[in-house]
Structure 1
Amino acid sequence: MRLVSQDLENGDSSAIINWAKNTDNLISVIPSVVEVEKNMIKMKFTRMFLFSFESKFSIQPSFIGNGLVEYKLIDEKDNTFKIIFSAEGKKGVKISLSYSGEKEWIVGKGLQKILNEISNGVNKEIPKVQIKESEQDYSENLSKISYLSKLIMKSRLVKSQETSITEGGLIDYIQELISQFSEYPVIYISGSGSSTFRILFVNGTLKGIYVLKEGKDYFGDENILNKLSGNFKIHVYVVISPEILEVIK
């Protein structure tokens, strides 16, 4: 087996992990990829212009908690790449890349180049994502049915329940929901009853609030949440990448 690794420091580890959870982000920066088809990629390696290795690999992602992302790339002969992103505190991520299988003497020479390009891709894209996230407020979007329809189509429903909320108790209830699904970078929570509320979190940060209470609209007002009470139908949706929010504007 051939293995290389690299530490990324002075970055936002949660943002890097969320970037890594998007398969398209990873594929776009791997230099050895020559063809992409759904969850399959073709990779080609050469050495000294005379020897080569080429094969199609299936992409098998695995997200473990908040701080670990692992990709296995496996071909029909069980030749295997492993790419692991592991958070180390709030400001660092370790990236490891390994290969085991046939023609390691050819493929092994290309691992460091792949690792470098992944690191460069992270360093280039993460600042852009952070700027977008810091500037964006989605409160008004949450009032639009057209936006919500697109958001839900790109999301996965992970929880649906009816619950009774006492006045002043909604914030604690929402915090419990966020802790349950904290491994996802985007969490959308909706509640409908005598009032309506819609809340969006991105990377653990509140990015949008819309409330309809007694015929009046409220945008971005956290205080109004403490005034809601009654029986609500709650839905919780998750999205694997914050970049999807930019697509569905």
Structure 2
Amino acid sequence: MISKVGKLPIADKEFVKSWCSDFSNIVECIPSAIKSGNTIILELNSGIFRKKLKLNYYIKLDKNFFQVNFINEDNKLRLSIIIDDEPFFQIYYEGANENEFKRIMDEIGKNIKEKLYLSYIRYKDEIRNAILSDKLKNVSFVTRIVARSKLLIEREIYTTDIISVIEEILSSISPQPVLYISGYGDGVFRLIFINGEFKGIYINYNGKESYTEEELKNLKGKFKISVYSAKLGDILSNEE
């Protein structure tokens, strides 16, 4: 019997539980694993020899506990994730392939930490983007941005392709910590880019409000466009 224990890199219990409940996340952490129905197939590498194991899996999930058992006649691999104030994982193996499974368990532990952390970073970015998009509707928030920013470009245009106009503007400006782009006229749009990445949008066009980049393609007409440069701290300090 061999075992491994490790601390998880984040303490957000609800996120950890949600991440575990998507079994594909777990499968992706197991090297060479292929899911097939209610089984997974593992490939073991013993020097010049390779062999495949087919293991049935059984999942348990409750408020503070996730566990999956992978079992066949000769092998039992158990992964448990304890979801408390300091979440951690336990991996246990018993069977005829301890040498090969020691390496697999090390990889599982490493992958769980890395993939869970990266998923959490993406999740936090999505939340921040949603917050900024929602804030862009607020006139007082926009006014504070403008008051703390430097005006780089101001022009009036008529266009049927606002996305191309924005891309042209972005390509003409040197990198900035924060760019705020606003357009007023036959509609309203407000965009924020942080370190060159799109981070928030608000659109009001034909009486309809939207917070998705996809809706930009529908904007047509005459607009006065203003582009501002700001410091990152000035924007983030207004998120609260």
Asked which structure has the greater RCO (Cα within 8 Å, sep 6+), the reply is: 1
Structure number, greater radius of gyration: 2
TM-score between both structures, scaled by the size of structure 2: 0.49
